[in-house]
């Protein structure tokens, strides 16, 4: 290895997909990125985008994730569209793991003990953790000598105090089943809160920051002097603000009420809450905010209602977290909707006048770039800060591997 430069392969493994980026730890440049889709399903395809070269689409059978990982390595080392000579030039792998439970408050180098602990959290994230584990095991099979790191979505939120993570339920459920608030998108909340402080020329330890990660899934967090003290998602990523297809927080009694009226099972109700609710459920148009905005512009009343309910739910959490921290210095908008929805940010900002904050229409006219979007006179800074979870995972992987070696 020249100097301290490492090539870090970042893997984000879903149940039938695998996203990857190869990042140079020194320059933080993305050497290549890609996506394997429809793993274990007919019509699987790998889209590989090497830096400075044409995108390549490889349509080939991927019966499982191990085959997918092998194809990714082949694509990265290919003589035509590859970016490294051989597997030896991949120095470490950073894996996104959705749920770390209470066991992990930071990233860790993966060993058998860590794998067992991740498996224990499968109950808490049945859609995500088993897929994350498959990704890790597939990489171990193909690259047995390459060190691997797990970076957890829940880790950043482990600094929450007990008063924030306990639910108003019998304490026995916490003791027996670890039912509590965990929160998600932690890698993003961590990265964006640190970047927000950097843009403002301060350290995170000097500030009270609220991060609004608004994508198809969305969550808000309160970061008080560098530590997360509260976040809107809960035991699962279903709680909190209204999302693309998820209901967010509702009266828990609704579940039993609908189950009885519609004669459906709790499992079916769970699917409705996760996949058929949110702005999709209200608007009956789409889970994509761009489609809903277009429909609202065409006077679709339900599309308008969905957008207004969404903006309102975000504004309420900002208010709640300002109270939780007894003040706020900066509010950052990030992820797909937060970074790109100009009118959405303006609508949410309308609720924040009591904070003495004011959005600057001209500065807010921006998509996907770091920028302060509030006026000079604004008492609280509003920012657009693109998230970069892959880079955050690569940085944490580099830090751990450097210490270990």
CA distances (Å), origin 160, targets 128, 166, 183: 23, 10, 10
Q: What is the pLDDT of residues 164-205, one digit of tens each?
A: 999 999 999 999 999 999 999 999 999 999 999 999 999 999
Task: Kindly state whether residue 182 falls inside one of the protein's structural domains.
Answer: no
Do residues 229 and 373 both lie within one domain? yes
Residue where one domain finishes, among candidates 152, 170, 188 = 152
Task: Kindly state whether residue 181 falls inside one of the protein's structural domains.
Answer: no
39 burial via Cβ count (<10 Å: 0-12, 13-18, 19+): buried
**Residue 17 near residue 39, CB atoms below 8 Å:** yes
Do residues 137 and 219 both lie within one domain? no
Task: Kindly state whether residue 169 falls inside one of the protein's structural domains.
Answer: no
Do residues 135 and 220 both lie within one domain? no
**H-helix segments, 143-277:** 162-165, 171-177, 186-199, 253-262, 266-275
**H-helix segments, 121-165:** 129-142, 162-165
Report the distance separating Cα 351 and Cα 379, nearest Å: 14
3-state secondary structure at position 262:
helix
Measured torsion, CA atoms of residues 37, 43, 48, 53, in degrees rounded to the nearest 10: -150
153 carries an active-site annotation: yes
Is residue 1's pLDDT more than 60? no
pLDDT score at 291: 94
Task: Kindly state whether residue 180 falls inside one of the protein's structural domains.
Answer: no
Asked whether the whole model's pTM tops 0.85, one would answer yes
Q: What is the pLDDT of residues 247-277, one digit of tens each?
A: 999 999 999 999 999 999 999 999 999 999 9
**Residue 94 near residue 11, CB atoms below 8 Å:** yes
Report the distance separating Cα 132 and Cα 97, nearest Å: 6
Number of domains in the chain: 2
Do residues 119 and 30 both lie within one domain? yes
Q: Which range of residues forms the domain containing residue 88? A: 7-152
CATH number at residue 70: 3.30.420.40
pLDDT score at 205: 97
Is residue 2's pLDDT more than 80? no
Do residues 208 and 310 both lie within one domain? yes
Mention every residue, 6+ apart, whose C-beta is less than 8 A from residue 316: none
Q: Which of 24, 88, 153, 291 is catalytic?
A: 153
Task: Kindly state whether residue 282 falls inside one of the protein's structural domains.
Answer: yes
Which has the closest alpha carbon to 188: 349, 50, 338, 85? 338
Do residues 209 and 141 both lie within one domain? no
Task: Kindly state whether residue 378 falls inside one of the protein's structural domains.
Answer: yes
């Amino acid at each position: 290895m020249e100097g301290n430069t490492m090539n870090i392969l970042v893997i984000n493994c879903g149940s039938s997909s695998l996203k990857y980026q190869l990042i140079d730890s020194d320059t933080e440049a993305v050497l290549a990125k890609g996506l394997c889709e429809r793993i274990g399903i007919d019509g699987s395809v790998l889209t590989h985008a090497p830096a400075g070269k044409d995108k390549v689409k490889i349509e080939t059978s991927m019966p499982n994730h191990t085959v997918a990982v092998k194809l990714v390595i082949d694509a990265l080392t290919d003589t035509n569209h590859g970016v490294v000579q051989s597997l030896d030039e991949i120095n470490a792998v950073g894996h996104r793991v959705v749920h770390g439970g209470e066991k992990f408050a930071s990233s860790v180098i993966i060993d058998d003990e860590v794998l067992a602990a991740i498996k224990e959290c499968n109950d808490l994230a049945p859609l995500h953790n088993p897929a994350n584990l498959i990704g890790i095991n597939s990489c171990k099979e193909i690259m047995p000598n390459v060190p691997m790191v797990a970076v957890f979505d829940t880790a950043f939120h482990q600094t929450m105090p007990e008063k924030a993570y306990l639910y108003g339920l019998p304490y026995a459920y916490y003791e027996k089943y670890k039912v509590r608030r965990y929160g998600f998108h932690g890698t993003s909340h961590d990265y964006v809160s640190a970047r927000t402080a950097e843009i403002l020329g301060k350290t995170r330890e000097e500030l009270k920051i609220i991060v609004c990660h608004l994508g198809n899934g969305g969550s808000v967090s309160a970061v008080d002097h560098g530590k997360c003290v509260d976040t809107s998602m809960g035991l699962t990523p279903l709680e909190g603000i209204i999302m693309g297809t998820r209901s967010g927080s509702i009266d828990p009694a609704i579940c039993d009420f609908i189950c009885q009226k519609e004669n459906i099972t709790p499992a079916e109700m769970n699917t409705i809450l996760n996949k058929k609710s949110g702005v999709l459920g209200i608007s009956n148009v789409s889970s994509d905010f761009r489609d809903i905005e277009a429909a609202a512009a065409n006077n679709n009343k339900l599309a308008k209602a969905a957008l207004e309910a969404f903006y309102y739910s975000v504004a309420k959490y900002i208010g709640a977290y300002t109270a939780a921290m007894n003040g706020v210095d900066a509010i950052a908008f990030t992820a797909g909707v937060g970074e790109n929805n100009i009118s959405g940010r303006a609508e949410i900002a309308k609720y924040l006048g009591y904070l003495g904050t004011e959005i600057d229409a001209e500065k807010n006219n921006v998509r996907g770039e770091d920028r302060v979007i509030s006026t000079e006179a604004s008492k609280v800074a509003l920012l657009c800060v693109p998230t970069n979870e892959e880079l955050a995972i690569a940085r944490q992987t580099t830090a751990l591997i450097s210490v270990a070696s």
